[in-house]
Chain A
Amino acid sequence: MSSSTEAATKASWYKRNEIAATPWLFLIPGVAMFLLYVIFPIFQSINVSFYDWDGLGEAQWVGMGNYEELYWDDAFYVSLRNNLIWLVLYLLAIPAGLFIALFLNQTVTGIRLYKSLFFFPFVISQVVVGLVFTWFYDPTFGLLNQFLAVFGIDPINVLGDERFVTYGIIAAGIWPQTAYCMILYLTGLNAVDPEQIEAARLDGAKGWKMLWHIIVPQLKPATFIAFVVTIIGALRSFDLISIMTNGGPFGESRVLSFYMFEVALSEYGFRMGYGASIAVVLFLIMLCFITYFLWSMYKDEKGGR
């Protein structure tokens, strides 16, 4: 008896705490990478945003100077406004994806082919999507204006007119995003409980009522993911802008991420501090969503227990 307790105290620290320590050991590589490449740069960016720095010479402390300049910067507000337009309009991809998914959720010969055709825009690169839409919108030779001309409508310079440009790019972005939401909903629809539908049908539900009260609630997990990826997609809307307009005309199609790139990293930029301050603002906006997502996930998990 006494010898066995002695053995237990002699056992190594690891042996005694094996159950508690092992998960952490497995987590260490991931956590270390995450700290190094995600968490640390966040604080670094926040730090840089207090300096005036061209990336080469000495950084000069300017305190809130960059933020003060942002406050007076018209281009910043244009970008911020465009970001909000993106966030709101991009969400249209979710209902659009849902309806295409409902439409495709049937057993007809060759439905797999149709599904993959609808999914196609998500597979091709955003750069290609951007180019295709640029040609589509071309004021002289583009398909859109050739089409409008049939009805006697004067050509619209979608990408060259500051009133339409952001909407034009969003339309291009929604095309692949809809496909993505559609796939999410198609998998979600597989998990819909047929018995509930049967029961609802017996109770006389059909059409919109059936959709809204029976199907959509069961698709909640898919909707949540679609919402998350669409919000993130809207905030990342960089490649399309870069390809289609390069932020123009006169900066009217910029969003915060593109403005940050222009200020800090493009050919005419290299104001690292100012770019970092834009990044911080963008981060704060994202933080609202991230907090909401984490909070709702936490609530779900707690409810599940």
Chain B
Amino acid sequence: MFHKTKSVLATLAATAALTTGAFAGSHAKLSGDLVIFSDMSNPAPRAVMEGMVERFGEMHPDLNIELTVIDREAYKTQIRNFLTANAPDVANWYAANRMRPYVDAGLFEDISDVWEDPELADLASTKGAMTLDGKQWGVPYTYYQWGVYYRKDIYEELGLNEPATFEEMKSNCQTILDSGRKCYTIGTKFLWTAGGWFDYLNMRTNGYDYHAKLTGGEIPWTDEGVAKTFANWRELIDMGAFIDNHTAYSWQESLPFIVSGEAAAILKGNFAVPPLREAGLDDSKLDFYQFPSINPDVELAEDAPTDTFHIPSGAKNKEAAKAFLKFVVSAENQTLINNGDNLGQLPVNAKSSVDDDKFLKEGFEMLSSNSPGGVAQFFDRDAPAEMAKVAMEGFQEFMVKPDNLDKIIDRLDRAAQRIYK
């Protein structure tokens, strides 16, 4: 499970790198060991991580960088152990409430001083997601938009347009259903995909602030607004908008339905694009639209989960770690690691450029100019882990048995009273 890449880079290339990599801190002389634990274990992210270590190493020839890449899923449980027992200098994690247990336990270093650096002013859009208790606990390195990825060719065949309102969304869906297809594919076996639907339906019905208060425990689940959200969701369920048997599939297993044309769309993060392209859906067949507005009185808000780097409080070489964090968020590095050949996601630095990719451009445009309500992380990052689990299980049950709604709400309310006390 562990893959060790030991990069001991002491080459003359350092001079060359220094001339290109112009950012604050690069001039400080760094030495000693820098231990990095990363969860970027999929092939593309892994190459990105190794590339960053190499380039950072070239800038600081005296620094001995030790990178350990851990399987992404296993990392989620291992982080607890290594933060307490054998803390690295830099570690990956996720933004918002997902940081809460480690911040509360004092295992993440407060790096508000790094954020005071003028260069980090360009990261203003994600600062909120990195802030807990008024302090910053890490830096983002990538994020991606969520939205509806749909089969353009099917929409054209049926003469449909991208919907802007919930009414259009439903009438489109009816046309699609009449043509013998399903409107949306989804695989709820691992629950969180249903959380995406709840995020959007709730943010469109009640707005971002309401959603944030709900996931933050300030609004009870028995509230009328939640009931409205579920009522809207129920309209789609009762139409038969979602594929049958979605409880048996993971999100990857739900993709063949959109590839084969049995379903016309999927609500998903941008990470769904590469597998769909690989399966043969080129840009003439696959397109993207922002989740339509439901309640015209609320501003549009989006989900854009952010992945992050942190410094554990037990780190030994904090100076080098801070320099590495600044390097990661620098405009130039952000442009490079988020381009289509690497992560294929959105850069967090406003000064970096978005790769020339249809979906990235549309997503960047949407997040920067058409998401006035705010940017949420994702249900299981905004709500505390325990609440997220209970709630997403409820969403899954609701999608199969909408009549159980009262029981589900009761259960969520009881869980919320215990968790947010």
A60 in the interface (beta carbon within 8 A):
no
* Partner pick for A268 among B244, B389, B414, CB 8 A cutoff: B389
Once the chains bind, are A54 and B393 in contact (CB under 8 Å)? no
Report if A248-B189 is in contact (Cβ < 8 Å); known contacts: A56-B101, A138-B248, A157-B245: yes
A63 in the interface (beta carbon within 8 A):
no
Determine how close the nearest CB of chain A comes to the CB of B106; give it in whole angstroms: 9
Once the chains bind, are A268 and B388 in contact (CB under 8 Å)? yes
Alpha-carbon distance A268/B389, docked complex (angstroms): 6
A-chain residues with CB within 8 Å of residue B247 when the two chains form the complex: 157, 159-161, 248-250
Q: Closest residue of chain A to B388, judged by CB?
A: A268
B394 in the interface (beta carbon within 8 A):
yes
B397 in the interface (beta carbon within 8 A):
yes
Once the chains bind, are A160 and B386 in contact (CB under 8 Å)? no
User: Which of B46-54, B76-84, B112-120 is near enough to bind chain A?
Assistant: B76-84
A6 in the interface (beta carbon within 8 A):
no
A-chain residues with CB within 8 Å of residue B105 when the two chains form the complex: 54, 56-57
A140 in the interface (beta carbon within 8 A):
yes
Majority secondary structure, A binding face: loop
Q: How large is the interface on B (under 10, 10 to 19, 20 to 34, 35 or more residues)?
A: 20 to 34
A-chain residues with CB within 8 Å of residue B89 when the two chains form the complex: none
Alpha-carbon distance A190/B360, docked complex (angstroms): 70
Once the chains bind, are A269 and B190 in contact (CB under 8 Å)? no
A267 in the interface (beta carbon within 8 A):
yes
Once the chains bind, are B77 and A160 in contact (CB under 8 Å)? no
A51-75 at interface with B (beta carbon < 8 Å): 54-57, 69, 72, 74
Question: In the complex, how many residues of chain A place their beta carbon closer than 8 angstroms to a beta carbon of chain B?
Answer: 30
Once the chains bind, are A249 and B400 in contact (CB under 8 Å)? yes
Once the chains bind, are B80 and A55 in contact (CB under 8 Å)? yes
A216 in the interface (beta carbon within 8 A):
no
B278 in the interface (beta carbon within 8 A):
no
Q: Closest residue of chain A to B384, judged by CB?
A: A268
Alpha-carbon distance A249/B394, docked complex (angstroms): 10
Determine how close the nearest CB of chain A comes to the CB of B43; give it in whole angstroms: 22
Determine how close the nearest CB of chain B comes to the CB of A139; give it in whole angstroms: 4
Once the chains bind, are B191 and A269 in contact (CB under 8 Å)? no
Once the chains bind, are A265 and B77 in contact (CB under 8 Å)? yes
B-chain residues with CB within 8 Å of residue A54 when the two chains form the complex: 101, 105
Once the chains bind, are B411 and A249 in contact (CB under 8 Å)? no
Give 18 CB contacts A-B under 8 Å: A54-B105, A57-B105, A74-B411, A139-B244, A139-B245, A157-B245, A159-B247, A161-B247, A245-B189, A249-B189, A249-B247, A251-B393, A266-B77, A268-B386, A269-B389, A270-B80, A270-B101, A270-B386
